[in-house]
Amino acid sequence: MRQAAARPWLALFVLLLLAGCDRSPALPRLNPHDVIVAFGDSLTHGTGAAPETAYPAVLAGLTGRTVINAGVPGETTAEGLARLPGVLAEHKPRLVLLCLGGNDMLRRIPAAETETNLRLLVRTIRASGAELVLIGVPEPKVFGGAAPLYARLADELGVPLENTIFDKVLKDSRLKSDPIHANADGYRVVAERLAEFLRESGAL
């Protein structure tokens, strides 16, 4: 009788354990003076909208933190890898929002090369003492979501991953300035989702 009564509790424990496995890795809480660097390409730069409506600028207002826009239009992961150490040295961020890979896909750079570069980007950020969030970029396909390599890297390296927001925005014509860039409304949606993600991960 005792063994039978214990089984519902055991089942509940297993369910809770499995649910915990699906959760994104936690982030340390950001202090008010901590710097966030948004590192990426044109999606980070805010191409298609005014500078003050790019997602890093909007995110700064939503979080009350300094958010540096370190987005360079047209940049590939290899180019970002060369640029990253200087950005880290200049701004000394506590947190980096890493969003690269779209230009690799547009230029048909092999996915394995892109994945290797992103892995090195993650390791370079962590070696600097900063935490990071990896942001997935959708494949340039009509029905494509974020490229599978982002989820693989997040699982392999234990990196918090936001894998849906740019896919959602770039599939909504009301939120785009052109086929591959958001407009001001789209970047606000991205910023709002990232602020929510940071709260869910414990950073805010």
Rounded Cα distance, 29 and 26, in Å? 9
CA dist 118 and 122 (Å) reads 6
Residues belonging to the active site: 42, 178, 181
What is the SS3 assignment for 131?
strand
Question: In angstroms, how far is CA 54 from the centroid of its own chain?
Answer: 15
Residues with Cβ within 8 Å of residue 95, at least 6 apart in sequence: 27, 30, 34, 35, 36, 37, 130, 131, 132, 133, 203
